[in-house]
Amino acid sequence: MQSVQTTLLAVDPLQPAPADIERAAALLRAGQLVVFPTETVYGLGADALQVQAVHSIFTAKGRPYSDPLIVHIAEYQTLAMLVTHIPQDALRLAEAFWPGPLTLVLPAHERVPRIVTAGMPTVAVRMPRHPVALALIRATATQIAAPSANRFMHISPTTAQHAFTDLHGRVPLILDAGPCEIGVESTVLDLSTDIPTLLRPGGVSLEMLRTLLPTVQHFTSPRASSLEQNIADAHKSPGQMLVHYAPTVPTYLFDGSLSQIHTAMLTTIQQHLAQGQHVGVLIADEDLSALQNSGAKLYTLGSLTQPEQIAAHLFAGLRALEEANVTLILCRTFAEQGIGLAIQDRLLKASGSKIITVS
């Protein structure tokens, strides 16, 4: 693909200058790509109704066409243009959680290009709450198809710099509004089937969903199951297969009590340092005193008592260790309540489900 000059344009996260938004909107209307901030992660946007423009998303990311895209909207009425039917549950959830980090999967209207839905009969729709994203969608006066703005298989970007690292030379413009508030991607909920199914835990927790929709089932990605099972599940939930987030650095998760985790990590660190490896560890504040003299490169995500902080720093931490050229990443597991379910899901994917249970 032809290389383009990539401009990083700083915009005010709360009140972006109309001229900056218009510059980005003009590119989108002309069928070009723009990286823009959302409250979850940065997105790589194109006009969802321009097939050629959507094609270039897949080319820029190196993403397979089998993985469908989320369509981003700014007004509730737009939903009716994208789907054939809006169930009562969808209305209630949209009212409660939009704008925000919830993506609803619904039967697709034929107006939605097949390249967006990967030829599936459903479309994923979300209304982000980031002021820059909303302003951009409104100024473009269309719907924006956008995956996370990373190269395929890499970590989702939570800063404009992350997106620049992955996509410079491939997109003309990146809007930089600083770090993303939530830091993990939106919750994906399939409402097109009889049983509402959580396909990806994210910014809206399973507990929050169940307060409005008690029947929500959690579609759990396979942990140590067979390859055949893995492939079958990948068809049910495209893009959720384990290899999707396979990191460039081998990553191991440690599960156990605080002191058990520390002892096991210290042993692992020593073994690998002795072999000449560079070990990186993602830690919580509570792990610092036990590991600070370990010789490993540490990245602190925040306190165990504030899982929102952990989520917000998780992807930046993985990228920081990768950029520090560590040859091995260790991380603890986290409680699966609230946003913790999304944290644990992303760590399982990053580690290819390599969990070390210490007892």
User: Which residues here bind ligand TXA, judged by CB under 6 A?
Assistant: 38, 40-41, 43, 67-70, 101, 103, 105, 117, 120, 122-124, 126, 128, 146-148, 185-186, 188, 199-200, 238-240
Query: What is the nearest approach in angstroms of Mg ion to the Cβ of residue 244?
Result: 8
Footprint of Mg ion on residues 179-198 (CB under 5 A)? Answer: none
Least separation in angstroms between CB 223 and Mg ion:
20
**Residue 56 site contact among Mg ion, ligand TXA, none (CB < 5 to 8 Å, cut-off depends on kind):** none
The DSSP 8-state label assigned to residue 223 in this structure reads S
Smallest separation (angstroms) from ligand TXA to the CB of 206: 16
Q: Which is nearer to ligand TXA, 180 or 282 (CB)?
A: 180
Kindly state the helix (H) or strand (E) to which residue 40 belongs, with its residue range. none
Please, what is the minimum distance in Å from the beta carbon of residue 217 to ligand TXA? 14
CB of 324 vs ligand TXA, minimal distance in Å? 25
Which 3 state secondary structure label does DSSP give 228? helix
Contacts of 114 (CB under 8 A, 6+ apart): none
Cα dist from 211 to 7, 205, 206, 308, whole Å? 43, 10, 9, 20
Among Mg ion, ligand TXA, none, residue 41 binds (CB under 5-8 Å by kind): ligand TXA
Out of ligand TXA, Mg ion, none, which partner does residue 328 contact, by CB within 5 to 8 A per kind?
A: none
Q: Which stretch binds Mg ion (CB under 5 A): 90-98, 145-153, 228-236, 342-350?
A: 145-153
Beta-sheet strand order (sheet of 251-255): 297-300, 279-283, 328-332, 251-255, 355-357
Closer CB to ligand TXA, 47 or 287, in the complex: 47
CB of 198 closer than 8 Å to CB of 214: no
Q: How far is the CB of 61 from ligand TXA (least distance, A)?
A: 9
Q: Which residue is nearest to ligand TXA (CB)?
A: 239
CA–CA distance, 148 with 126 (Å, rounded to integer): 13
- Residue 148 touches Mg ion, criterion: CB under 5 A: yes
Residue 4 CB, nearest approach to ligand TXA (Å)? 21
- Of 186 and 351, CB closest to ligand TXA: 186
- Judged by beta carbon distances under 5 to 8 A according to partner kind, the member of Mg ion, ligand TXA, none in contact with residue 240 is ligand TXA
Name which of 131 and 239 has its Cβ closer to ligand TXA.
239
Residue 238 contacts which entry, Mg ion, ligand TXA, none (Cβ below 5-8 A, type-dependent): ligand TXA
Q: Closest CB to ligand TXA among 38 and 344? A: 38
Which residues touch 239 (CB under 8 Å, ≥6 apart)?
67, 68
Instruction: Please state, in angstroms and rounded to a whole number, the distance separating the CA atoms of residues 219 and 235.
Output: 12
Query: Contact region for Mg ion (CB under 5 A) — 90-98, 144-152, 157-165, 304-312?
Result: 144-152
Rounded Cα–Cα distance for residues 110 and 49 (Å): 11
CA–CA distance, 200 with 7 (Å, rounded to integer): 32
Structure tokens that stand for 151 in this block: 């190269």
SS3 259: helix
Which partner from the list ligand TXA, Mg ion, none does 159 bind, CB cut-off 5 to 8 Å by kind?
none
Size of the site for Mg ion (CB under 5 A): 2
Query: How far is the C-alpha of 88 from the C-alpha of 91, rounded, in Å?
Result: 5
Nearer to ligand TXA, 155 or 264 (CB): 155
Q: Which does 70 bind (CB under 5 to 8 A by kind): ligand TXA, Mg ion, none?
A: ligand TXA
Instruction: List C-alpha distances in Å: 198 to 104, 195, 240.
Output: 10, 10, 11
DSSP letters, 121-168, are SEEEEE----HHHHHHHHHHTS-EE--BSS-TTSPPPSSHHHHHHHHT
Q: What is the DSSP letter of 76?
A: G
Q: Which positions touch Mg ion (CB under 5 A)?
A: 147-148
